[in-house]
Amino acid sequence: MADVTTELLYLGSMDAAYRKEFDASIARRGENYLVLDKTLFYPEGGGQEHDTGILRHAHGDTKVLRVEKKGIVKHIVDALPPADTVHVHGLLDWDRRFANMRMHTAQHLVSGIAYDLFGGARTVGNQLHPDRSRIDFRPAKFSDADLHQLETETNRILAKGLPVDLKFESRTSLERRVKPDRANLDLLPKHINELRVVEIGDVDACPCGGTHVRNLGEIGKVRILGKSSKGAETVRVEYELAAP
């Protein structure tokens, strides 16, 4: 059976990430999942957690427990709807989605500032949760004073309420204005030429497929919780967000 291509409705614009519901058709059924022809649900990836919510249909509600993308986008559900169900109305758990948007945008900012402040400390991994998140930096040997500086500078930029924009740009164009290692461009496969770039004012630009807020004023403040060594000059920094 050929793979089904699901249209990812949140990708096209900043405003699309703020949509809370959508209509779709069931394209395939699995043992515990549905594949839709289109979706607003974010599948886990890029460090960002998946969305959850409900698929409403003629027979009632089906809970979306998890969403993953491994070739196809699978909406893992609590129970499959009856076989004659064709159309569904999706509703996101908005609180979870918005928390992930705030966290992911904050991660871009923290990563960019750390690179600038500490001699090119690159982000080599991250895991973003709605309540707290972590970023792995290398090479890095942050002192407590360094973490305080990182938190202070991040919150200084957040207080500016800069716009967060989305643009589609060629790899060559982005490489002309952003250092490839700052935006991890050198880690993207060479055949990828058209990039979805998330841009924070004039302080950061990074290719990304995640969901983000439209303005830094929606994030609040970053509170760095601590650090731990992960070996090989790699430091893991954990943070949370205070309400805006």
CATH number of the domain bearing residue 37: 2.40.30.130
Domain membership of residue 54 (yes or no) is yes
Boundary-marking domain end, from 63, 92, 121: 92
Question: What CATH number corresponds to the domain at position 212?
Answer: 3.30.980.10
Domain membership of residue 141 (yes or no) is yes
Domain membership of residue 1 (yes or no) is no
From edge to edge, which strands make up the β-sheet containing 204-207?
164-170, 194-200, 204-207
Tell me: do 66 and 130 sit in the same domain.
no
Tell me: do 63 and 102 sit in the same domain.
no
Tell me: do 105 and 83 sit in the same domain.
no
Domain that residue 140 falls in: 97-242
Task: For residue 150, give Cα distances in angstroms to 19, 127, 136, 213, 240.
Answer: 33, 19, 14, 21, 14
Q: Which residues pair with 235 in a beta bridge?
A: 137, 229
Query: Considering only CA atoms, which of 8, 5, 6 is closest in space to residue 42?
Result: 8
Q: Structural domain tally of the chain?
A: 2
Residue 55 neighbours by CB under 8 Å, 6+ apart: 34, 61, 62, 63, 64, 75, 77, 81, 88, 89, 90, 91
Tell me: do 102 and 179 sit in the same domain.
yes
Domain membership of residue 64 (yes or no) is yes
Tell me: do 112 and 233 sit in the same domain.
yes
Tell me: do 103 and 195 sit in the same domain.
yes
Residue 2 has a pLDDT of 55
Reported as a single tens digit per residue, the pLDDT across 45-93 is 989 999 999 999 999 999 999 999 988 999 999 999 999 999 999 999 9
Q: Give the C-alpha separation, 55 to 23, whole Å.
A: 9
Task: For residue 201, give Cα distances in angstroms to 152, 208, 210, 216.
Answer: 18, 16, 18, 9
Q: Give the C-alpha separation, 237 to 155, whole Å.
A: 16
Tell me: do 117 and 187 sit in the same domain.
yes
Boundary-marking domain end, from 92, 122, 140: 92
Is the full-model pTM beyond 0.85? Answer: yes
Question: How crowded is residue 184: how many other Cβ atoms within 10 Å of its Cβ?
Answer: 15
Residue 125 has a pLDDT of 93
Contact predicate 239/227, CB 8 Å: no
Domain membership of residue 15 (yes or no) is yes
Q: Over the chain, what HEC string results?
A: CCCCCCEECCCCCCHHHHCCEEEEEEEEECCCEEEECEECCCCEECCECCCCEEEEECCEEEEEEEEEEECEEEEEECCCCCCCCCEEEEEECHHHHHHHHHHHHHHHHHHHHHHHHCCCCEEEEEEECCCEEEEEEECCCCCHHHHHHHHHHHHHHHCCCCEEEEEEEEHHHHHHHCCCCCCCHHHCCCCCCEEEEEEECCCEEEECCCCCCCEHHHCCEEEEEEEEEEECCEEEEEEEEECC
Boundary-marking domain end, from 92, 119, 150: 92
Tell me: do 64 and 156 sit in the same domain.
no
Tell me: do 59 and 104 sit in the same domain.
no
The DSSP bridge pattern shows strands 234-242 and 132-138 to be antiparallel
Domain membership of residue 57 (yes or no) is yes
Domain membership of residue 216 (yes or no) is yes
Tell me: do 123 and 184 sit in the same domain.
yes
Tell me: do 57 and 103 sit in the same domain.
no
Query: Which positions of the chain have pLDDT values less than 70?
Result: 1-2
Tell me: do 25 and 137 sit in the same domain.
no
Domain membership of residue 194 (yes or no) is yes
